[in-house]
Copies of this chain bind each other. A is one copy, B any other.
Amino acid sequence: MKTLLEAIRPTTFIESDKLKKQLGIDLTIASETFQITGSFKFRAAYNLALNVPNDEIVTASSGNFGQALACACEILGKKGVVVMPETSAQVKINAVKGYGATVDLVDTKQVRREDRVQQILDTMPNAYRASAYDDSFVIDGNSTLGKEIANYKDFDAIIVPVGGGGLSSGIIKGLCEIGSSIKVYGAEPLLGNDASRSLQAGEIVANEIEPMTIADGARTLSLGKQNWAIIKDGIAGIIEVSDEKIAEAMRLYFGLANLKCEPTGALSFGAILENRDPFKDKKVCLIVSGGNVDTEVYRKILAG
């Protein structure tokens, strides 16, 4: 059985001279688009599936965590059940099924995903309830990316997409464990700016409904409790990114860096497009969290 570090792939660092020239900022991309299952979530999911004693794992996921958990369960011989919103990208639904996991589609306007998970757990008493972000195994799995980034270059700042806070808290924890002082900024959709509001309020603030941003990996109601405990003091700031800037970032990645990414993955670059001033003269790492996007969605975004 492979350890976490044996199972994951190292992230892909991309230096794009054209991006640097166009933005006037010393940018490096840390792309998880070529990670197993196409997003960073495999780091979290494998670590979780490897370490929980249960043979059955149930989760709610907008797609990438579900796919990653399904793959990890397949590798480790466990049973995975994934509750997904009906609005999830079709490629993500198909991918979860392809790894042999059970997909449970839910109309999130009728039933909250978390409530549906509880309904399923009532019929599977020996299953582990896995949060895609609010879980220490998830945070520890994601911390590996923070360490990789710190070992690659002496960055001044890392910008990381924020949904439930699983990746950002993991990055902060990973950096902390190796004594790195790189600043971590979160980038979240303007349409679901609960993390920004939470930081201002000093406590977790939730969106009333799942925000319908194109960044479908960040359609979360709020930060997780364990994530918040790490983020509230560990993050240098949260930048709110409009869907227009997310799309523009995707087009620039395509045209200048030959990088295909999903909307959520483009949040970190979108943050720079919203306001580049704080990052002038800094060495900045943009985390691209994943690459899984429906063809038609991508074609529409490319058309501008």
Q: Taking the complex as formed, is A141 at the interface, i.e. its CB lies under 8 A from any CB of chain B?
A: no
Q: Taking the complex as formed, is A258 at the interface, i.e. its CB lies under 8 A from any CB of chain B?
A: yes
Question: Are B36 and A255 within 8 A (Cβ)?
Answer: no
Question: Are A255 and B12 within 8 A (Cβ)?
Answer: no
Contacts of A259 in B (CB 8 A): 34, 260
Q: Taking the complex as formed, is A86 at the interface, i.e. its CB lies under 8 A from any CB of chain B?
A: no
CA A12 to CA B303, docked complex, whole Å? 28
Question: Are B254 and A292 within 8 A (Cβ)?
Answer: no
Q: In chain A, residues 3-27, which have Cβ atoms closer than 8 Å to a Cβ of chain B?
A: 9, 12, 14-18
Q: Taking the complex as formed, is A298 at the interface, i.e. its CB lies under 8 A from any CB of chain B?
A: yes
Question: Are B260 and A254 within 8 A (Cβ)?
Answer: yes
Residue-wise, chain A 238-261 has the 8 Å CB interface mask toward B (1 for contact) of 000000000000010011011111
Q: How far in angstroms is the closest Cβ of chain B from A264?
A: 13
Q: What DSSP secondary structure best describes chain A's contact surface?
A: helix
Question: Are B255 and A295 within 8 A (Cβ)?
Answer: yes
Interface size for A (C-beta < 8 A) is 30
Contacts of A15 in B (CB 8 A): 9, 34
Q: How far in angstroms is the closest Cβ of chain B from A148?
A: 15
CA A270 to CA B260, docked complex, whole Å? 20
Most buried by B among A15, A36, A38, A258: A258
Contacts of A189 in B (CB 8 A): none
Q: How far in angstroms is the closest Cβ of chain B from A295?
A: 5
Known: A258-B261, A299-B303. 17 other contacts (CB 8 A): A12-B12, A16-B34, A17-B36, A18-B95, A33-B258, A34-B257, A34-B258, A34-B259, A38-B258, A254-B260, A254-B295, A254-B298, A258-B291, A258-B292, A295-B303, A299-B299, A299-B302
**What are the 10 closest A-B residue pairs judged by CB atoms, nearest first?**
A258-B291, A33-B258, A260-B260, A14-B34, A299-B299, A38-B258, A295-B302, A258-B260, A299-B302, A12-B12
